[in-house]
Amino acid sequence: MKYLALIFLLAACGESQKTDPAFSPYIQEINQDLNGHLNIKSTIVFGTPGPRFEATCFQENSVIIVDQEKWKDMTHEQRYWVLLHEIGHCELSLEDSELLGPNGLPTTFMFNPSIQIGLFVEENPELKDFLLAPLRGE
Ligand SMILES: [Zn+2]
């Protein structure tokens, strides 16, 4: 119990922002899919990521800002990959890639625009494991 109280105290003193509960199911799903290979620490909130973006990551404080209007219009797969993409920027310092493989599909979850990854995965479900493999250490 002492330990728990300390965690709450630290949380209250530290971060002023907390991840919006809207993102929790997606983070849970990503964590499950990655089998604990990535310890997601970013704070994810709705806000204004900039007119052209669905989401953006501020690496200095590891905060991901998601456009709420665009989020509403996204499918489940799109949301999943947009978040994972931003986590790649925020927590792994990865850069965007615009390359498509010879099969016309993205070769990395850092494909930009990330909102398209979800559509590719919806049409090619086997792509999901391929894109997650490097994150699983495979
Ligand atoms: Zn990006």
Contacts of 116 (CB under 8 A, 6+ apart): 106
CATH number for 91:
3.30.2010
Going from the Cα of 35 to the center of ligand 1, the distance in angstroms, rounded, reads 23
Rounded Cα gap, residues 116 and 86, in angstroms: 14
Please indicate, yes or no, if residue 84 is contained in any of the structural domains: yes
pLDDT in tens, the chain (138 residues): 555 554 454 444 554 689 999 999 999 999 999 998 999 999 999 999 988 899 999 999 999 999 999 999 999 999 999 999 999 999 999 999 999 999 999 999 999 999 999 999 999 999 999 999 999 988
Alpha-helical regions (H) of the chain = 2-13, 24-33, 68-73, 76-92, 115-123, 127-132
Please indicate, yes or no, if residue 10 is contained in any of the structural domains: no
Contacts of 85 (CB under 8 A, 6+ apart): 55, 109, 110, 111, 112, 114, 117
- Which range of residues forms the domain containing residue 100? 17-136
Whole-structure pTM value: 0.87
pLDDT number for residue 77: 98
Going from the Cα of 48 to the center of ligand 1, the distance in angstroms, rounded, reads 16
Going from the Cα of 96 to the center of ligand 1, the distance in angstroms, rounded, reads 5
Neighbours of 100 (CB within 10 A): 13
3-state SS, residue 55 = strand
**Total domain count, the chain:** 1
Please indicate, yes or no, if residue 6 is contained in any of the structural domains: no
